[in-house]
Structures are given as C-alpha cells and as structure tokens.
RNA sequence: GCUCCUAUCGUCUAGAGGCCUAGGACGGGGCCCUCUCAAGGCCUAAACCCGGGUUCGAAUCCCGGUAGGAGCGCCA
C-alpha cells in the first residue's frame, strides 16, 4: 500500500507557522515514501469556517510550494457519506441515540467537577444487555454517540512520541452526530482518513487525546489503522503559546518580512527535527533525509534571529533568477518600478551578502530605482563637508571621462583618483556614497556606481556638490 | 481535579550506558581582514531540572518530585 498523508486545517484563519510546519512534515513523509500528499479542509463548523480562510490557506501552501497531489477535499461535501456510515453503525450497535439535553449534560459535568472527577458522559442512554433505557422524551432530537469499549487499553504507537497507552474506561461515549444530524470532527476525521486511504496522520499534539477514540471508531468500522505522528507545538520567542493575540503570524507575513519560501521551510524543518549537525537542506535533501523518529517531542520556540540567518544563507547561494520574482514583488511593494533601474539580478548579486531579508534588500536598493529623499543627516554632516564637496566636484569631472561605465573601469578611476591625491580609498568612497546613495552604506563603491549608471551618478554628484557648497561657505 | 505529553548552553539541537573534559548552529563577546555595511577567518563565555535507584560505569535506563504544556464540548 502506498503512503498517503494529509494536511487537514480547519479554515478559521490564515495558515500560521505551526500549521505550515505540520504541513511540511506531512508533505515530506509522503514524498519520502514516494507517496501522495493531500489537503483536506475541515469545515464542518459552519459558524467559524470562512471562504477567506480557505483562500488564505491555499495561498500560503502555494507560496511555500507544498503542492497537494489531489484536488482538496471539503468535509462539508461529504455529509452523505458520513450519514451512511452513521446509519451502519447504528444498525451494527456500535453507535446509539442519546436524548440528553444540553442542560442535562451541563449539570452532569458540573456535578462531576464538583466531585473532582474528569467530566464525561455517564452512559445513561447506552444500551446494555439487561438494562432498561429511560423513556424517550418528547421533542428532544437525539444525538448519536459512539459506543466506546469499556474494557482494555488502546495503545497508540506514535511515530514521534513512542507508545502511549490509554485505558478505555477513561474514554466516554463521544457524540458523532449532532441533534441536527451534522457529524462531528472526531467522526469525520476517521471516515475521511479511512476513505482516502491515509496511511500517515501527522498533526499537532493537541490531538493526542483524541486519537484513542478515533482508533476505537476505526476498529468498530473494521478499518485499517493509519500510523500516527503528533508534532509538538511552536512557541513564541518568549516561550508563550502562539495565538492571534500573541505573535502568531500568517505564513504570508513572512513573505512580507522578506523570507524566501524555501528558507522558511528550511528553518521550520529544523525546528524539532535534526540530521546530525546539518543546518541547511535543499528540498530534495529534506525529502531524502526527513525522518519522523528523529523529530523532537517537546515544544520549540520560534527564533527570529536564526530564521533570518537561514534566509540569509539562501539569499547568498540561490540562483538570482529564482530570487528575482520575489525581489520584484518587494520592490513594487515599496512603490517603485523595477524597470526604472538596473537589472534585478545584478542588484541581487551586489546586495545579497549584506541583506538578511528581501525586504531589507529592496529598501537598500531603493536608491537605484527612485530619486533620493534627502541625505542621512549624520552621514551628510560627516562626509558632505567642505573638503568632501571639493573632492566630489573634482571626481565628477574625472568620472565624466570614463567611457566604459563598468565596475572594473570605475574601480580603476576611483582608485586612481584617491591615489593621485594621496588619500585612502575610504576618504573618497564615503563622500561618494552619501552623494549617490543618500547614506554611508552600500555595496562596494565601484559596483554601486556601475549599478546606478552614468547619468544618475553624475547628476547626484552635482546635486551633492550643490547641496554642500553653500553650507561650507556659511 | 482527572488523563496524556514534555524537560541538554539565552534559542534550535547532537547524544540510542563507556567515544562527553557534553558536540554543532543561531545569538553574544573578542581579534583579524576591510572604501562603508556586510561577508569571511580565528578565538571565547554559555547547558545535562531536582532527588533516589539499576549498573563496574548514566545526559542516556527505572521510580519519585518539581516545573511547563495539552486534552477533558452537540469546536476543530
């Protein structure tokens, strides 16, 4: 039987970082085994599910490149199938009607909690040999409950956490269909996983306690059990649980911050999983090496600094052609036209060493695509001095003579200029930088000028001289 | 309260009883290189939650604490 894994989010919000990691792990497991990966939308909660959330999840998955091998499955489109299985279970006696009202159930829970017991259904409508059930009340639509075994244990042999034993007597008879006939989560999951031939259920470890019930339902149905792997959650940098209220960000926000999707994936895969001392993995390496048994079962914190580092490693070595579309996206986001300046790949090559994110790269490259918005005050005060201004004026005259506006030619010109005057390169490069970039930070000065182009460079030198001269005289 | 899970540098982790004087990476500190910012190179500080066992030997196995977390819905 070939491997099939799934990612099954409920569409109540964007795809967050924890979900992305779970999706990635599922994806890797399937691919590693040469199997299929699929996406299932768990939207049986009509109240909270939204189309916007569904779209946001698709968008996030697409950006990350986690492609589903089949069309996505929506649970709300499978109600007929769920009803069919429920009818079978009712007929087989593995499920039964319960006429308790919500009020009765609330009272039951309250009493149990008062007695410091674990709140659970007491089985008053559960049919037993020789037991007389209460009279069926009028006007109470029944729910359907699963008849959970009372004896024995359920052993969940978790691929990450190892064997976990649950006593059946700890489990109560959960509701599998509401009074209005809509099936509940724990039931839908089971039927779906069964129908879709899911061999690997990989999900957040908040589902561990649901698993024994799901296993019991699967057994009652005579279905084969999938293998389970429960992934621990991701905590915020402060060790607190991530929530919308507290630092939980959608995957697309990481795009805005300037992450490459592959880099985010690489950071995420190392959060909990390791392969010796290796930190960087291509997607193919992840697929070849990923192993659930090497995934840590304890929660991990999200460390932005390390994520940035990983991203930087990617920016430094990835083919500029691959980076280009993302870089383009960031430049446009800052309101500039990427056509109004040097070729993007050349800029990437010049900037990648000094930028941890694409957002940073775009910002630092703005001067190549748009007019300067004034000079950095401190840098101008330091470098656009009387002396600096004179230097710039002289240099401008010499640069005008440079016929071949290339990095090597400019390198020669600027170096000779400094040499002739007996100045260190820094004495010359810094004023130029401030003049053409607006501040004292940029790629090497020859590259910077080459990228900027002859016309813009000369114009900016003129502008800087004009800006500095009256101040020097004053 | 009950059930289940977890516990190595600040962070992510290596570690499957002797290879551990506990390794790597991020981040921190220092030095070198240098036209700026980076990048790079070298060096450095920094951890086995506590207590009992088992064993010739325990970060590793067992038990008990402690501390975190998850679940206990006609939510998913």
Among all chains, which residue has been given the structure tokens 């006939």?
Answer: A181
Q: What own/partner pairs with CB < 8 Å and gap ≥ 24 does A405-414 have?
A: A405/A449, A405/A450, A405/A453, A405/A454, A406/A450, A407/A446, A407/A447, A407/A450, A408/A446, A410/A445, A410/A446, A410/A449, A410/A450, A411/A446, A414/A445, A414/A446, A414/A449
Domain count within chain A? 4
Instruction: Note the pLDDT of residue A47.
Output: 81
Instruction: Note the pLDDT of residue A239.
Output: 83
Instruction: Note the pLDDT of residue A46.
Output: 79
The last residue of a domain, from among A231, A262, A293: A231
Is A341 in the same domain as A270? no
Instruction: Note the pLDDT of residue A357.
Output: 98
Is A242 in the same domain as A223? no
A203 strand B contact, CB < 7 Å: no
Residue A359 lies inside a defined structural domain of this protein: yes
Is A142 in the same domain as A179? yes
Is A184 in the same domain as A208? yes
Residue A313 lies inside a defined structural domain of this protein: no
CA of A159 to C1' of B60 (A): 20
Instruction: Note the pLDDT of residue A18.
Output: 93
A17 strand B contact, CB < 7 Å: no
Is A467 in the same domain as A406? yes
A31 is catalytic: no
Which residue range(s) make up the domain with A70?
A: 4-75+234-305
> Nucleotides of chain B within 7 Å of a protein C-beta?
1-8, 10-16, 23-27, 34-39, 68-76
Is A223 in the same domain as A353? no
Is A98 in the same domain as A170? yes
Instruction: Note the pLDDT of residue A453.
Output: 97
CA of A235 to C1' of B68 (A): 12
Residue A113 lies inside a defined structural domain of this protein: yes
Q: Strand B proximity: list residues 343-382 of A with CB under 7 Å.
A: 353-354
Instruction: Note the pLDDT of residue A169.
Output: 92
* CATH classification of the domain holding A288: 3.40.50.620
Instruction: Note the pLDDT of residue A406.
Output: 97
Q: Specify whether the CB–CB gap between A163 and A156 falls below 8 A.
A: yes
- Residue A60 CB neighbour total at 10 angstroms: 25
Is A183 in the same domain as A324? no
Residues 6 or more apart whose CB falls under 8 angstroms from that of A42 comprise: A8, A9, A10, A11, A75, A185, A188, A189
The last residue of a domain, from among A330, A345, A368: A368
Is A69 in the same domain as A93? no
Residue A311 lies inside a defined structural domain of this protein: no
The reply, when asked if residue A306 is annotated as ligand binding, is no
Which nucleotide comes closest to A355 if you measure CA to C1'?
A: B38
Q: Strand B proximity: list residues 244-273 of A with CB under 7 Å.
A: 270-272
Catalytic choice (A118, A161, A219, A244): A244
The last residue of a domain, from among A275, A305, A335: A305
A424 strand B contact, CB < 7 Å: yes
Is A382 in the same domain as A468? yes
Instruction: Note the pLDDT of residue A44.
Output: 84
Q: Strand B proximity: list residues 280-309 of A with CB under 7 Å.
A: 293-294, 296-301, 303, 305-306, 308-309
Is A107 in the same domain as A128? yes
Residues of chain A with pLDDT under 70: 1, 244-245, 472-474
CA of A277 to C1' of B44 (A): 21
Is A40 in the same domain as A86? no
* CATH classification of the domain holding A434: 1.10.10.350
How buried is A372 (Cβ within 10 angstroms: 0-12 exposed, 13-18 middle, 19+ buried)? middle
Residue A260 lies inside a defined structural domain of this protein: yes
Structure tokens at A303: 């460390």
């Amino acid at each position: 039987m070939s491997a099939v894994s799934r990612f099954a989010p409920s569409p109540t919000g964007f795809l967050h970082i924890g979900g992305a990691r779970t999706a990635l792990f599922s994806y890797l497991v399937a691919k590693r085994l040469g199997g299929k990966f699929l996406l299932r939308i768990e939207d049986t909660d009509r109240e909270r599910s939204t189309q916007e959330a569904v779209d946001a999840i698709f968008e996030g998955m697409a950006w990350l490149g986690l492609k589903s091998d089949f069309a996505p499955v929506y649970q709300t489109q499978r109600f007929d199938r769920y009803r069919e299985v429920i009818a079978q279970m009712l007929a087989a006696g593995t499920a039964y009607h319960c006429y308790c009202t919500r009020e009765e159930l609330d009272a039951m829970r309250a009493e149990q909690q008062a007695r410091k017991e674990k709140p659970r259904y007491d089985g008053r409508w559960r049919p037993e040999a020789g037991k007389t059930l209460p009279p069926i009340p009028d006007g109470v639509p029944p729910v359907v409950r699963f008849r959970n075994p009372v004896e024995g244990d359920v052993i969940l042999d978790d691929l990450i956490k190892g064997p976990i034993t649950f006593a059946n007597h700890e489990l109560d008879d959960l509701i599998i269909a509401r009074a209005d006939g809509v099936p509940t989560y724990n039931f839908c999951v089971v039927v779906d996983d069964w129908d879709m031939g899911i061999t690997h259920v990989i999900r957040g470890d908040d589902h561990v306690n649901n698993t024994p019930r799901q296993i019991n339902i699967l057994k009652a149905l005579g279905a084969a059990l999938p293998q389970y792997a429960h992934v621990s959650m991701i905590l915020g940098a402060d060790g607190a649980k991530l929530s919308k209220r507290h630092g939980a960000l959608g995957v697309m926000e990481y795009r805005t911050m300037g992450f490459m999707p592959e880099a985010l994936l690489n950071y995420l895969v190392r959060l909990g999983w390791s392969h010796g001392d290796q930190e960087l993995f291509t997607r193919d390496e992840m697929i070849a090496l990923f192993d659930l048994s090497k995934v840590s079962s304890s929660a991990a914190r999200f460390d932005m600094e390390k994520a940035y580092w990983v991203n930087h490693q990617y920016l430094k070595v990835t083919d500029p052609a691959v980076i280009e579309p993302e870089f383009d996206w960031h430049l446009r986001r800052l309101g500039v036209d990427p056509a109004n300046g040097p070729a993007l790949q050349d800029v990437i090559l010049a900037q990648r060493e000094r930028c941890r994110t694409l957002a940073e790269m775009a910002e630092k490259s703005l001067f190549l695509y748009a007019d300067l918005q004034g000079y950095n005050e401190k840098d101008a005060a330091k470098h656009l001095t009387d002396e600096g201004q004179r230097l710039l004026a002289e240099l401008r005259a010499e640069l005008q003579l440079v016929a071949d506006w290339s990095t090597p030619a400019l390198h020669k010109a600027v170096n000779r200029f400094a040499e002739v005057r007996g100045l260190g390169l820094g004495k010359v490069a810094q004023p130029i930088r401030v003049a053409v970039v607006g501040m004292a930070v940029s790629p090497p000065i020859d590259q910077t000028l080459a990228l900027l182009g002859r016309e813009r460079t000369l114009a900016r030198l003129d502008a800087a001289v004009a800006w500095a001269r009256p101040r020097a005289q004053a």
